[in-house]
Chain A
Amino acid sequence: MKAHPWMANSGGSAKEEMLAALGVKDIEELFVQIPEDHRMERPLDLPPQLASEVALSRHLDDLMGKNMVFEQSACFRGAGAWPHYVPAICDEVVGRYEWQTSVFGSPTSDHGRNQAWFEFTSQIGALVELDFVGLPVYSWGCAVGHGVRMAARMTGRRKVVVPEVMDPERRMVLETYCEPTEMARHIQIATVKVGADGCIDRADLKAKLDGAGALYFETPGYHGVIDADPGELCALAREAGAEAIVGVDPLSLGLLEAPGAYGATIAVGPTQPLGVHMYAGGGVGGFIASLDDERYAHEYNTLNVSISETREPGELGFGLALFHQTSYGMREEGKDWTGNSVYLWALANATYMSALGPEGFAEIGRLIMARSTATAQALDALDGVSVDLSRPVFKEFVATFDKPVSQVNAALRAKGLLGPKDLTGEPGVSGNAALFCVTEVHTKTDIDQLVAAVKEALA
């Protein structure tokens, strides 16, 4: 066998030298712990080795050539992964071999990475105006799940109220986290009505909050609708003794009020919009933030990085706080579990937030809102499409067609466009409903092309 480029000791005399040091002739002697009857009886039957990078690269290119790739400007689909612009510096930062290949290290030897983590949590804290932020979890849905479980432990109440209009992907993750009814610690998920205006029905909420440990809602919601008074929802939750958990799109926070400012006790949201590509769903991540109170801090399952002093006066470092309460510290007694998450993406997020700054967040918020609203208006003006223009929306909105959504999307695809998500049959919509996503990547020309293609599809 040729020396393999990724295995130093596969070439030269290293193996012989090590065997000689051990006084071992046959490498099999080192595997005596594995009993004979545990062993596989034949060699592995796998596709041929592609040790040549030329061959491997070609194989991957050939395989991936079978995908249909839509430019972000031609992608009008969101719902959990969104076509946003990723500044080139974000790609450069996450591509750095030093931290891309790092594993755990120590606060001193991996100081730079730990500082960047702290800058992620600090900037999320600034956006949501909450003082305690953990390192990110796998996804927004997982952040909701952990947030709800935190609230259940804090309040001792095993019930969460969520709006009937909720992204089914996130809802399914939450259901998993809330455990089936057979389990003693099952958390009941109660659903609150959403009115014709796309906002939570206040009267129904008051009734549903009885005995709840948490209210979870989003603004903008799954259908893009901005609630006029999210603070009222938080107040109702808190009056009922429940935690107010609010899900937010961080890109809306240059325009929309910070959840910490209107009474959210826990805020969660997606991190992919902050400088991470969609990667077929591999770009998703979620954050959890809360009041900086022991009651909350002691329920985090995440790793938490804190600023610290060092032996050198005036010098700052960044170490883990409250490590012992994690599953690494306490196994099954720890808070849920922690493990590998999406920490590399947190570095893209930190870079993104620092490059945007306060004015960048305001600008991108205005741009997204202007373009999504303009698209909604243009679509509503077409025959066979209707959009409820009385709803204030951010980035995403619902349109209803007089033809099946799949048929419209097939026609759009033929023109190289990735059309809206099909909502047909989901709660809170009727007929052939679809969820459009319009962001800062979509120019007026792109929007015109979309509208023309929809018009043609419905003709």
Chain B
Amino acid sequence: MTASLKNYLENSNGYHAAKWSEPVVMEMTGTGRRGVVFEDAPAPKLPGKAARKNAPVLPEVTEHDALRHYLHLSQMTLGMMGVSLFGTCTMKYNPRIGERATSEHLKKLHPLQEAETLQGVLELYDNFSDFLCEVSGMDQFIFQAGGGADAAYTHACLTRAYHASRGELQQRDQIITTIQTHPCSPATANTAGFEVITLSLEENGYPSIEQLKSVVGPRTAALMVNNPDDMGIYNPDIKEWVKIVHEAGGLCFYDHANFNGVMSRLRARELGFDACMFMLHKTFGAPKGGGGPAVGAYGCAEHLVPFLPAPVVKKDGDSYVLDEDRPQSIGRVREFWGNAPQVMKAYAWARAMGAEGLREAADISVLANNYMDWRLGKTKGVSRSNPGIDAPRMEMTRHSVDQVTQDTGCTVFEISNRMTDFGIDALWLSHEPWLVPEPFTPEAGELWSKEDIDYWIDVLEHVIAEAYEDADLVKTAPHNGPIKALTSALDEPSVWATTWRAYERKHPSKIAAE
């Protein structure tokens, strides 16, 4: 829990990030020091021109130096150490029991071990598939996809195989999505070879049935959508949408990225969807790792099961097998059968929650978001997307500081940076394209206490007040972070340097000056 802002400002000097003067590790070279040594072995005779001529230019540090360097860097990472209400990502507690159990039980397993030596982890996969099938109404889940976007890609690949099996793939070359669906749906549909049709929002906050009907037809391969969207608006026509797409011969995929608010109240299959996806690193409590390893758990109804990527974990009598003999399978979207540690962590989270815990989490998420809406509604300069829609939003809402920007010149980026000065993780703004100016999208979830949520809003109110009083203070933020705001034009070929080698080549004078 965080002390309230009032006490915080009065009783302390406030938050300040750790600030170590830690050089880039590539500068720690030429010392002759060693971090790891191995036994000696004779130099091998290498064929032809195979031998390396110049040793790689890598750091030379002691083990302690390497450890200390990376621990310093970890300390200069705010993440969830303060309060993070990073919308669309459903910030949850990542239980430590999952870390310990995966370390104790999974780290030495080889993915190509014979199934009879993997009975525990395969049973866990099967149990969790059953769990997610009950939650979604689907018939089988697989965990091969390395993230939510990879699960969307899996669906696009299954769509190819399904229509190819019916001889219709060449005809069905379009996938329909909406502008408020996560970019991974259109992007993976395109990568899989489809043309993408994107529906625009109308006055209710979602595209109309008429708009959908105007694009559905014999070329329709699939619909890929989320619901509710990132503005917290639930499309009540979704069952009708699914019916329309099915009648035209297309498949329907439900991106359940925004599952937290509808969890335990509805099931994708009962709405008619053929397939859906859960992000285990979001809704199911596995850590995000700053961007994976992650799992997009992909589930589908019986008619799509033959097309799933192999291998699929199957129960065969009293034991479990990795079924590879699947002639209609799309093959692989990634090597092996998934990020087993993340599956185990999510399974552990799910079992600790149970049915009553899932319902409680959904209730708290939606309640906390509406509480935030209520407080933000009273916050100077903050407005809500779709102001004409009065119905309570689901687990998140898109807001805007456009009025503050117009009045003070402080953008939402700058306000977000200033909020990090108080230990608040940078805000989630909005996916591209921004449909709302100067957007931000908090999601309270079920983890954070009311005090944390109040602190978050107090900080936003405080920063907005600062913007009106002293805009420069906000524009030059952060002031309490490990470093100041970046200034380089990183899209310029002569400037960007994604490696130290490139930096040395492009900016020799800066290295000389150090």
Task: Decide if B348 touches A60 in the complex (CB within 8 Å).
Answer: yes
Q: B70, A350: Cβ atoms under 8 Å?
A: yes
Determine if A109 and B481 form an interchain contact, defined as CB atoms under 8 angstroms apart.
Answer: yes
Q: Would you list which residues of chain B between 86 and 123 have a CB under 8 Å from chain A?
A: 86, 89, 91-95, 97, 99-114, 116-121, 123
Give CA–CA (A134, B496) in the complex, Å: 12
A265 sits at the interface (CB 8 A): no
Are B358 and A309 interface neighbours, CB within 8 A? no
Contact check, B432 vs A330: say whether CB atoms are below 8 A apart.
Answer: yes
Find chain B residues with CB under 8 A from A46 CB. Answer: 131, 134-135, 354-355, 358
Tell which of B40, B50, B134, B500 touches A392, judged by Cβ atoms closer than 8 Å: B50
Q: Is the CB of B331 within 8 A of A7?
A: no
Q: Please tell me if the beta carbons of B487 and A340 are within 8 angstroms of each other in the complex.
A: no
Q: Which residues of B contact A79 (CB under 8 A)?
A: 112
B56 and A354: CB pair below 8 A? no
A140 CA to B146 CA, complexed, in Å: 12
A226 to B52, CA, bound (A): 12
Q: Is B58 an interface residue (CB 8 A)?
A: yes
Question: A400 near B: Cβ within 8 Å?
Answer: no
Residue A107 interfacial (CB < 8 Å): yes
CA distance A30 to B37 in the complex (A): 61
> Which of B401-409, B442-450, B458-466 lies at the interface?
B442-450
The residues of B that contact A169 with a CB separation of less than 8 Å are 332, 335-336
Please indicate the chain A residues that have their CB under 8 angstroms from the CB of B500 in the complex: 118, 122, 125-126, 307
Contact of A126 among B26, B169, B281, B337 (CB under 8 A): B26
Q: How far is the CA of A324 from the CA of B288 in the complex (A)?
A: 23
- Take A56-B97, A99-B74, A363-B38 as given contacts and tell me if A311 and B476 are in contact as well, using a CB distance cutoff of 8 Å: yes
Contact A324 B363 (CB under 8 A): no
Which residues of chain A are near B17, meaning CB under 8 Å? Answer: 109, 111
Once A106-B426, A280-B109 are accepted as A-B contacts, the answer to whether A127 and B496 lie under 8 Å apart by CB is no
Given contacts A103-B89, A277-B108, contact A111 B76 (CB under 8 A): yes
Closest CB-CB distance, B474 to chain A, in whole Å?
14
Q: Considering the chains assembled together, what is the distance between the CA atoms of A283 and B40 in angstroms?
A: 28
Contact digits for A434-454, partner B, Cβ 8 Å, 1 yes 0 no:
000000100000000000000
Q: Are A14 and B449 in contact (CB under 8 A)?
A: yes
Contact with A along B363-400 (1 / 0, CB 8 A): 11011101100110000000000000001111000000
B315 at the interface (CB under 8 A from A): no
Tell which of A177, A180, A343 touches B289, judged by Cβ atoms closer than 8 Å.
Answer: A343
Q: Does A245 interact with chain B (Cβ within 8 Å)?
A: no
Q: How far is the CA of A186 from the CA of B169 in the complex (A)?
A: 13
B interface footprint on A277-305 (CB within 8 Å = 1, 0 otherwise): 11111111100000010100100000111
The stretch among B5-13, B211-219, B244-252, B266-274 that forms the contact with chain A is: B266-274
Partner of A328, one of B37, B164, B279, B432: B432
Report Cα–Cα, A116/B67, bound state, in Å. 12
User: B424-440 toward A: CB 8 Å interface, digit per residue (1/0)?
Assistant: 01101001100000000
Q: How far is the CA of A32 from the CA of B262 in the complex (A)?
A: 11
Give the Cβ gap from B127 to chain A, nearest Cβ, in Å. 8
Q: Which residues of B contact A324 (CB under 8 A)?
A: 491
Bound-state CA distance A37–B42 (Å) is 73
Q: Chain A residues near B35 (CB, 8 Å)? A: 354-357, 360
The 10 closest A-B pairs by CB, nearest first: A49-B354, A228-B48, A339-B149, A344-B289, A102-B79, A281-B111, A355-B35, A281-B336, A112-B76, A327-B187
Name 25 A/B residue pairs within 8 A (Cβ), A-sorted: A1-B360, A9-B364, A18-B450, A21-B374, A49-B354, A67-B105, A89-B67, A107-B486, A112-B77, A113-B77, A130-B499, A138-B147, A142-B146, A172-B331, A254-B52, A279-B107, A327-B187, A337-B187, A339-B184, A341-B147, A342-B289, A345-B293, A347-B70, A360-B37, A367-B40
